[in-house]
Structure 1
Amino acid sequence: MRVLTVFGTRPEAIKMVAVVKALEAAPEVTHAACVTGQHREMLDSVLSLFDIQPAFDLNIMKPGQDLAYMTSAVLQGVGEAIDNFRPDWVIVQGDTTTAFAGALAGFYKKCRVAHVEAGLRTGNLYSPWPEEANRRLVAPLATLHFPPTQKAGDNLRREGVNENNLFVTGNTVIDALQLVANQLEKDANLQTQLAARFSFLDPSKRLVLVTGHRRENLDGGLERVCQALADISREREDVEFVYPVHLNPNVQQVTRTVLAGCNAVHLIEPQDYLPFVYLMRRSYLIVTDSGGIQEEAPGLGKPVLVTRDTTERPEAIEAGTARLVGTSSEGLKAAVTKLLDDAQAYKAMAQARNPFGDGQAARHIVERLLVHG
């Protein structure tokens, strides 16, 4: 069986690592990876960490790229990779432009498509944008659907997906997180190296890890989030923030303008996955608009405040591991303050169960592909 995996962003790469490794370990499978380069530098760091050698590298990134360009470039490039490799299956992950255009390329080439992390929905086509549309558009193109949770599976059932083509697997990000967390746990030298790398952090202060990059938050939302961080950093001496700033120039401009001069807010470069997991483990709580972090942080017992109005991962909200707080400065300040000052509120979130799986998702995915041939 010939399988082509297609991914191009850092989150996709992290979530496909375990699937790639499981495919490469299966004697019945000939596997090739096609990377689009939708996130160039951040993608390469994940490929290096997990020693993944792509057979096809489309390298589509260019300055000022827009969604129309990315979609057409991925569509053409993946189509050419399919012509070259002639796979039985094309596997895409999640909700990116790479996932949608990769699935469309598979459909155009009459190649079966499998969708990892299928079925997540907010119900609002414009939130997250364009991810909600991408994920919905992949569904009718896919032959096999691998939702991470029962709720995601139910979404697909309501949309008419055949039960025989739908398999709840858990989320592959937990597979990747466990690989890295185990490495950090066992390697004392690595722990020492990472502690030295982040020696600017004050062990007497509680650490809040922050990320933010969503397109829908670039129209004022990110600025309000940063203002809340600035206010808290000036009002309290018992907390500090570390913010790996996304490479998007719009994100860079807002964060570095609003947070300039805030000594307790450390703006750092985007981190490779391993040091980022170290920071998650080191943090007291996490503020983010990321989807993947809503899944990862509960596995580490870290409360998550989600700076969005909607989430396609309601399981985290229902389990109590995450809270939607929007992008109001006052709302975010109140939510952070409550977790810093209210031990019971913190404990309730930190000890909530992780609803996203047991780290065996990749194995389930490959087993099901082999059954379908």
Structure 2
Amino acid sequence: MFLLVGGTRPEAVKLAPLVLALRARGCVVRVVATGQHMRLFDETLAAFGLVADVRLGVLEGARTPAEVLGRLVPVLAGLMPGHKAVVVQGDTTSALGGALAAHYAGVPLVHVEAGLRTGGPEPFPEEMHRTLIGQLADLHFAPTAAAVAALAAEGVAGERVVMTGNSGIDALLWMHARLRSDAALAAAAAAPLAGVDRRRPLLLVTMHRRENHGAGLDAVLAALVVLSDGMEIVLPVHPHPSVEWPVHAALAGRPGVHLLPPLGYPAFVWAMMQATLALTDSGGVQEEAPALGLPVLVMRGVTERPEGLATGNARMVGTETGAIVAAVRGLLMGEGLSAMAEPTLPYGVGDAAGVMAGVMVERFGRA
């Protein structure tokens, strides 16, 4: 029996294909929802026809990573006995909690999306989380050659590392195909964008990173005020008060700006399919946009996903107001837009979950 631990929407996106691949091979899989982002986690699983087998209710009122971790580890530790392996994904507090609980219980730990590194303290606390998980994991599923190299540089033995591609691309390509073939699903996914003026360019914006709270966010919002005069801006607003309140204060009611609640997975993929370009500090969007031929501007100073930069589908712009405005307007004027809009697959071709499931069955057995 395998135990998969997750709590955020990106974790649900990237773990769902693995759940399906393991169950298709006859494996018994239990999915634990930590409650870090319960509604978004549940809704995303549902898009793949899945539900969590265990839903924890211990995070009510927890606001900081320390509070989340302190509550999760003891509860997760009690779920560990009887499992062949525990799987965590990425770099969230839920992932670190699952990793610590598995290590304390002596249960083998599998890390999906292992080996991503910036080489510095940012992003905080994600870089710390994934580096610590890398020290605890028994099996590392690295998405790219760069991730494999980063693990090797940290002394992780080669037999513990498998390059798999990114299961988020599995999910994206599957949902993209469904949206193109299922008219009812596409209509439901398109509904949140009903008020968008399609005669103007569409800028899809996502921002939530802790390092961008405060002055960085204020600078981004100032750029969006300027850019809203010439284009439509769709911004699903992260519910964290440090994001939600400043965003609404700066942009609510402004013509051309569409402040939406967090979108379900089909709706967000649909929004990427319709957008002219994306402006983001999200790791997942950096991976997804190149596959769709969506040019992406990254509002960060460093990235653990350099592959999109190397293919030319992504550019780093930071959070300075003038730099963001200049980059967006330059692309809209055709400065390199066609090259950035060429679809590429630097993060895998959509078969990662099958590779992972095959390795897990070989190493741990099915039941």
TM-score range, shorter chain: over 0.9
Residues 97-246 of structure 1 aligned to structure 2 (within 5 Å)? 97-125=93-121, 127-234=122-229, 236=230, 239-246=231-238
Q: Is the 8 A contact 1:170 1:359 kept in 2?
A: yes
SS at match of 1:167: strand
- Give the aligned residue type for 1:141: L
How many positions carry a matched residue from both structures? 364
1:260, 1:190 → 2: CA distance? 29
Q: Deviations over 1:88-121 (max 9, x none)?
A: 1000000011111111110100000000000000
Query: Is it true that 1:350 corresponds to 2:345 in the alignment?
Result: no
Name the counterpart of 1:46. Answer: 44
Q: Is the 8 A contact 2:190 2:271 kept in 1?
A: no
- Give the aligned residue type for 2:90: G
- What's the CA shift for 1:139? 0.8
Q: Deviations over 1:122-141 (max 9, x none)?
A: 0112x110000000000111
- What's the CA shift for 1:47? 2.1
- What's the CA shift for 1:223? 1.2
Is the deviation greater in 66-75 or in 164-173?
A: 66-75
Unaligned runs of 5+ in 2: none
1:275, 1:60 → 2: CA distance? 29
Q: Deviations over 1:22-78 (max 9, x none)?
A: 111112x22111110111221121122222222221133323521111111221121
- What's the CA shift for 1:20? 0.7
SS at match of 1:124: coil
1:209, 1:95 → 2: CA distance? 24
Query: Is it true that 1:90 corresponds to 2:86 in the alignment?
Result: yes
Taking a change above 3 Å as real, the CA distance of residues 51 and 195 of structure 1, as seen in their structure-2 partners, is: closer
Query: Is it true that 1:290 corresponds to 2:286 in the alignment?
Result: no
Residue 359 of structure 2, aligned match among 351, 354, 368? 368
2:58, 2:326 → 1: CA distance? 42
Q: Is the 8 A contact 1:305 1:323 kept in 2?
A: yes
TM-score, normalised relative to structure 1: 0.95
1:355, 1:222 → 2: CA distance? 29
Name the counterpart of 1:332. Answer: 324
Name the counterpart of 2:254. Answer: 262
1:281, 1:177 → 2: CA distance? 11
2:297, 2:188 → 1: CA distance? 29
Cα RMSD (Å):
1.2
SS at match of 1:185: helix
- What's the CA shift for 1:195? 3.7
- Give the aligned residue type for 2:107: C
Q: Is the 8 A contact 2:116 2:304 kept in 1?
A: yes
- What's the CA shift for 1:370? 1.5
- Give the aligned residue type for 2:340: M
- Give the aligned residue type for 2:361: L
Q: Deviations over 1:158-212 (max 9, x none)?
A: 1111111100000000011011111101012333344444221112111110010
1:170, 1:51 → 2: CA distance? 23
SS at match of 1:82: coil
Q: Is the 8 A contact 1:319 1:352 kept in 2?
A: no
Taking a change above 3 Å as real, the CA distance of residues 312 and 231 of structure 1, as seen in their structure-2 partners, is: same
1:371, 1:324 → 2: CA distance? 40
Residue 275 of structure 1, aligned match among 241, 244, 267? 267
Residue 69 of structure 1, aligned match among 60, 67, 85? 67
- What's the CA shift for 1:249? 1.2
TM-score, normalised relative to structure 2: 0.96
Q: Is the 8 A contact 1:19 1:362 kept in 2?
A: yes
Taking a change above 3 Å as real, the CA distance of residues 324 and 277 of structure 1, as seen in their structure-2 partners, is: same
- What's the CA shift for 1:276? 0.6
Q: Is the 8 A contact 1:246 1:270 kept in 2?
A: yes
1:64, 1:97 → 2: CA distance? 12
2:283, 2:58 → 1: CA distance? 24
SS at match of 2:228: helix
Unaligned runs of 5+ in 1: none
1:178, 1:89 → 2: CA distance? 28
Q: Is the 8 A contact 1:285 1:302 kept in 2?
A: yes
Over the matched positions of the two proteins, sequence identity in percent amounts to 41
Taking a change above 3 Å as real, the CA distance of residues 275 and 90 of structure 1, as seen in their structure-2 partners, is: same
1:197, 1:306 → 2: CA distance? 24
Q: Which runs of 4+ in 1 moved over 3 A?
A: 192-197
